[in-house]
Amino acid sequence: MENILQAADRLFQNRYIISIKKAFTITLPVIILGSIASLINNMPIDIVQAGLSTPVGGVIRAVNGAVWLGSTAIMAILIAWTLGYYLGKEYQLNGTLSALTSVSAYLTICVTTADGGISLSRLGSGGLFGAILIAILATELYRIFSRLKINISEDTPEEVQQMFAALFPVMLSVFCIALTNGIILMTSGKGADEWIYTGLSFLFSAADGGGLLGTLFLVFGIHIFWFFGIHGGNVMDSIMVSAFGENLIHNTNLYASNHDAFDGQLAIISKGFLDTFVFMGGAGTSLCIIIAVLIIARSRYMRSIAKMGGIFAVFNMNEIVLFGFPVILNPILLIPFLLTPLAITLVSWSAMSLGLAARVVTEVHWAMPPLVSGYLATGGHLSGSILQALNIAIGILIYLPFIRLMDRREVQKEALKDDNTALLKNTLNTVVEKIHNSTGEINGEITNFSIVLESIVGDLNDLSAQMQKQMQLLHTCVEYIQTIDTSVGNTDNSIKIVLQNMEKTNEVSIAGAQNMQQTMQKMEEIFFSTQKANELSGQLNMRCRQIEEILESIKDISRKTNILSLNASIEASRAGVHGKGFSVVASNIEALAAKTVRSVSDIEGLLQGMKEDTSDMIEQSEVSLRQVETGRQQVIDTNELFGEIVQNIHNIQAQCDTVFKHSGEVMDELQQINEQIQTTSRFFVETTSHTSKVAEQVRDKSDASKKMAQKLLRLNEETSLLAVNALESLESGEEPASNETQMSRGK
């Protein structure tokens, strides 16, 4: 068995198989990410699906769908890139350029959609086989055309040189593949990608018919494709539909009429039959691999992959198992990977043919866990779950010896790695011990020198502590002086501002006093004018009284004239004709007397108005005299107040002069303190100079110490280099290089 595996190992050690393994291994994180997203969206648990139906769950479902599109859905692109990169590295080409060529070449042959896009089915796992073939072909063409280079000046940046060197190889490689695909498409109506999968389907067209042998052949084909990294389920999907696509529908309809899952008329082989009883955990019945590893494996790597992939395998997702161990292109697991599904298919078919197990009568979601899916697929019969458990046990028994062999190899590798690590540690310990022995004298000198340095440093620390205390006192004094200086300066400024305001106030007060004196003069003039007006009013009143006396005399004359006119009239009437002329005179005298009375009456009315006006004028004059007297007294009081203000201003100016004199004295004292601080500062400068000299001596000693430390550092670096080279030699199995060679590498 070991000889067969060694031969298989040699067969699988060619550059293509190695590059494919590396490509699938490096893409494992993306595969795991896509598996997690797909598992969440397709988990056949009602509460999970109900949660994904909510608005928040809809967002989660959309995010998982986007993650799946960015990982599993573009698996062919990822493999084309990584395979082109690693295969290019095998040929010592630029890996990035060969990867770029592989992806571009594969996209040129992919089937396009009606709107001119690329079919997503060819970018995922369904296009893996084509991606692998085109990546290998594109890299080979790139290697052949890499001789066609455009040489440019060496002064040009390296990236530009690489671009010109790869210009023709990349262009010609992609163009040749695209041209070939175009010719095939024009002549046959199908592109290279479609012909690849048509050819694969034709190889297994013998399975068409749905019999046992055809089914075994179909299962074998699915798993042989998977072993080489091709999604066998996608490749064989059209064949499975053709072979037994209607069987499950027939079983469902028949079971609905008689509810007998053991009815011989029910078809045994169907897609539900394979999903439920053969592909438990995915292709190769991967759940059996997980359980077998957890039972007997001791390898840390295998158990970690089994634990990680077991969760997904329960829901029939096995990408982690296929690419993690890996199962793909692993010669050790080739036999059980093909044998287990064939044996389980045969056992399941036999059990149903003999009536020992119910047949599949309903479709179950592909992600339904085993045991549960068997019970549901057979219409609720425990025989389905029991048959699944039996198949899992058979698969475990088939995988166990191969898992043991694989585990033994992995354990040996891990043990060898641990032994190499232990050997490396022992080697390093030995080297370190030698270094300690060879540097004993240096350590002694460094110890003695450290004692001297410690004493010097102690003295410097004491001196620095004293200097720090003095400096703190100086800083405190300087802060106080600055505060006092600032306060004195602020006081001077404030006094100056006060004096300026006082001068302005004094000027305003003097001007106010002058204005008040002028006001007093005006008030006195008004007072005198009012007195004269009052006197004139009195004289006028007196004249009015005199006129009244004259009017009384005129009234008396008028009465007497009336009496005389009356007497004349009487006498004229007595005289008769001779008295008519005298009667006319008497009438005129009477008229004159009446007119005189009226004039006197008018004059009396005018005099009465003049008397009333004169009385009002006298009263107003008296009021004005009193107001003028009051204003005159207020002006006198205001003038006295201005005099007091001027006197207070003179007093404040005298006090400010006194403050100025004391400020000068304070400034003199501050000047003396500054002189003392300057003297102290000169002392500290001298002390600092002395300290600098001592520090220079310490620095000289420190330089010698650094040189010694550098010697030790070089010894440690050489020791580390020796350890690394020893580890590389142990890992590669070569003899360790000589010390001179290792030293030259270190340089």
C-alpha torsion sign, points 395, 397, 398, 404? positive
- Helices 382-438 and 286-296, axial angle in degrees (round to 10): 50
d(CA 467, CA 465): 5
What pLDDT was estimated at residue 670? 65
26-65 pLDDT per residue, tens: 887 887 788 788 878 877 677 888 888 888 888 998 998 8
**Of the candidate ranges 244-258, 320-334, 641-655, the one whose mean pLDDT is the lowest:** 641-655
Per-residue tokens: 30? 């993306």
**Orientation of helix 286-296 relative to helix 300-314, angle to 10°:** 140
Which residue from 340, 346, 388 is spatially nearest to 227, judged by alpha carbons?
340
Instruction: Name the percent of the chain lying above pLDDT 90.
Output: 15
8 A C-beta contact, residue 71 and residue 28: no
Average pLDDT over residues 146-156: 74
Rounded distance, CA 111 to CA 270, Å? Answer: 30
Q: What pLDDT does residue 295 have? A: 93
Cβ contact 368:376 at 8 Å: yes
CATH among 3.40.190.10, 1.20.1440.230, 1.10.287.950, 3.20.10.10 for 441-741 = 1.10.287.950
For position 52, what pLDDT does the model report? 85
Mean pLDDT along residues 571-575 = 75
- Tell me if 527 sits within 8 A of 629, measured CB to CB: yes
Q: pLDDT digit string (tens) for 477-524?
A: 666 666 666 766 666 676 677 667 667 766 776 776 677 677 777 777
The answer to whether 577 and 531 are in contact (CB under 8 A) is no
Evaluate if residue 744 carries a pLDDT over 50.
no
Q: What pLDDT does 742 receive?
A: 40
Predicted confidence (pLDDT) at residue 133 exceeds the cutoff of 80: yes
Checking if the pLDDT of 462 tops 60, the result is yes
Model pLDDT for residues 405-438, shown as the tens digit of each residue: 888 888 888 888 766 666 656 665 665 566 555 5
pLDDT for 107 beyond 80: yes
Domain ranges (residues) in the chain: 1-203, 212-238+266-438, 441-741
| 689 has pLDDT over 50 | yes
Q: Tell me how far apart the alpha carbons of residues 265 and 244 are, in angstroms, rounded to a whole number.
A: 15
Residue 664 confidence (pLDDT) = 66
Q: Which of 342, 394, 449 is nearest to 700 (CA)?
A: 449
* Alpha-carbon torsion (201, 205, 207, 208), positive or negative: positive
Please give the distance of CA 476 from its chain centroid, rounded to a whole number.
Answer: 47
Where does the pLDDT of residue 16 fall: very low under 50, low under 70, confident under 90, or very high at 90 and above?
A: confident
Give pLDDT tens digits for 347-361: 999 999 999 999 999
Which tops the pLDDT comparison, 702 or 105?
Answer: 105
pLDDT tops 60 at residue 213: yes
Q: What was the pLDDT predicted at 277?
A: 93
At residue 196 the predicted structure's pLDDT band, cuts being 50, 70 and 90, is confident
Distance CA 85, CA 139 (A): 9
Segment 235-261, tens digit of pLDDT? 676 667 666 767 888 888 888 888 888
User: What does the mean pLDDT of the chain come to?
Assistant: 76
Predicted pLDDT of residue 466? 65
Q: How confident is the model at residue 217 (pLDDT cuts 50, 70, 90)?
A: confident
Distance CA 546, CA 564 (A): 27
Give the max Cα distance, the chain: 206
| 29's tokens | 């994180």
Provide the β-strand partners of residue 112.
Answer: 118
